[in-house]
Amino acid sequence: MIKALTSLLLVFAINGLGFNAQAHGFKAGDLTINHPYATPSLKGSKTGAAYIRSIKNNGKQADQLISARTTVAESVELHQMQMDGDVMKMRPVSAIDLPANAELRMMHGTPDGYHLMLMNLKQPLKDGDRFQLWLQFKNSGERQVMVYVQTPKSGTPAHHH
């Protein structure tokens, strides 16, 4: 009885922590897409950034993320952060490689990392919002995911153009 009550209280406690504590994952072929999220957009900005905590390729064949789309922005660009001398620069890329049996992290603040740039936002992204994002993979096809808008743990908004 006490064990069952403790388990029930633990479930309520975890659910009461809010969406930041709730992992959400999606499958696309051999790929596991964990916790897609975006950061709130800056006031007056027409761009936003979306990230994915990890994309794990559980297969024996490499794959690529080749495009993305959403209804909250006119277009989505794949971007990579790279050091150019002592300056961090953001560059569009045509695809993001997903090697076989490997995991890629696309997280806010990751140096030399990738993210999805949301171009010409149709409305500001606010903490707590959710939106649909369609990811197109070369081998695993298209997968629709739910993106949660959340302020990064550091409390600072994401970089924007």
**CA gap 34, 24 in Å, rounded:** 6
142, 134 Cβ separation under 8 angstroms: yes
Residue 154 lies in a domain: no
What are the tens digits of pLDDT across the range 16-61? Answer: 333 344 458 888 889 999 999 999 999 999 999 999 999 999 999 9
Residue 19, pLDDT score: 36
Residue 2 lies in a domain: no
Instruction: Determine how many CB atoms are found less than 10 A away from the CB of residue 82.
Output: 14
Residue 10, pLDDT score: 34
Residue 111 lies in a domain: yes
Residue 64, pLDDT score: 98
Residue 158, pLDDT score: 47
Residue 158 lies in a domain: no
Residue 10 lies in a domain: no
Residue 77 lies in a domain: yes
pLDDT beneath 70: ranges in the chain: 1-23, 154-161
Q: Give the CATH number, domain containing residue 141.
A: 2.60.40.1890
Residue 84, pLDDT score: 83
Residue 103, pLDDT score: 95
117, 79 Cβ separation under 8 angstroms: yes
Residue 154, pLDDT score: 61
Host domain of residue 82: 24-149
Cross-strand pairs, 104? 55
Residue 102 lies in a domain: yes
Residue 132 lies in a domain: yes
* pTM, 2 dp: 0.79
What's the total number of domains in the chain? 1
> Tokens 């997280």 sit at which residue?
107
Residue 98, pLDDT score: 97
